Amino acid sequence: MLKIGEFSRLSQVPVKTLRYYDEIGLFKPSGIDRFTDYRYYTLDQLPRIHSIMALKEFGLSLEEIAQLLHEDLPPEQIRGMFRLKQVQVQERIREEQARLTQIEFRLRQIELEGMMEAVDIVIKRIEPFHALTLRRTVLTRKEREFSGRAIEQAIKEGRIKWNRSSPVEMFHEEEFHGGYSDAEYAIPVEPNHTPTVSLEEVGTFTLREIPATEAATYLHQGDYPSLNEKYLFLQRWAVENGYKLGGTWRFVYHRGPMHHANPSEYLTELQHPIERARA
Give the model confidence (pLDDT) of 67-96 as tens digits: 888 777 888 888 888 999 999 999 989 888
- 18-44 pLDDT, tens digit per residue, is 999 999 999 999 999 888 889 999 999
pLDDT at 277 over 80: no
pLDDT at 133: 95
Confidence check: pLDDT of 55 > 50:
yes
pTM higher than the cut 0.85 = no
Phi, psi of 10 (to 5 degrees): -70, -40
Chain-wide mean pLDDT for the chain? 86
Query: pLDDT digit string (tens) for 207-223?
Result: 999 999 999 888 888 88
Cβ neighbours around 207 below 10 Å, total = 18
Q: Which strand (E) or helix (H) includes residue 270?
A: strand 267-276
pLDDT at 119 over 70: no
What confidence score (pLDDT) does residue 94 get? 85
Radius of gyration of the chain (CA): 30
CA dist 173 and 171 (Å) reads 6
pLDDT (mean) for 249-265: 85
Higher pLDDT, 237 or 178: 237
Specify the pLDDT at position 116: 44
pLDDT at 54 exceeding the cut of 60: yes
Q: Is the pLDDT of residue 269 over 50?
A: yes
Q: What is the pLDDT of residue 39?
A: 93
Q: CA separation (Å) from 247 to 172, 190, 200, 213, 239?
A: 7, 25, 30, 10, 16
Asked whether the predicted pLDDT for residue 178 surpasses 60, the reply is: no
Regarding predicted confidence, which is higher, 229 or 242?
Answer: 242
CA 23 to chain centre: 38
- Specify the higher pLDDT residue, 206 or 145: 206
Average pLDDT on 45-67 reads: 91
Contact between 220 and 251 under an 8 Å Cβ cutoff? The reply is: no
- As a whole number, mean pLDDT of residues 88-112 equals 81
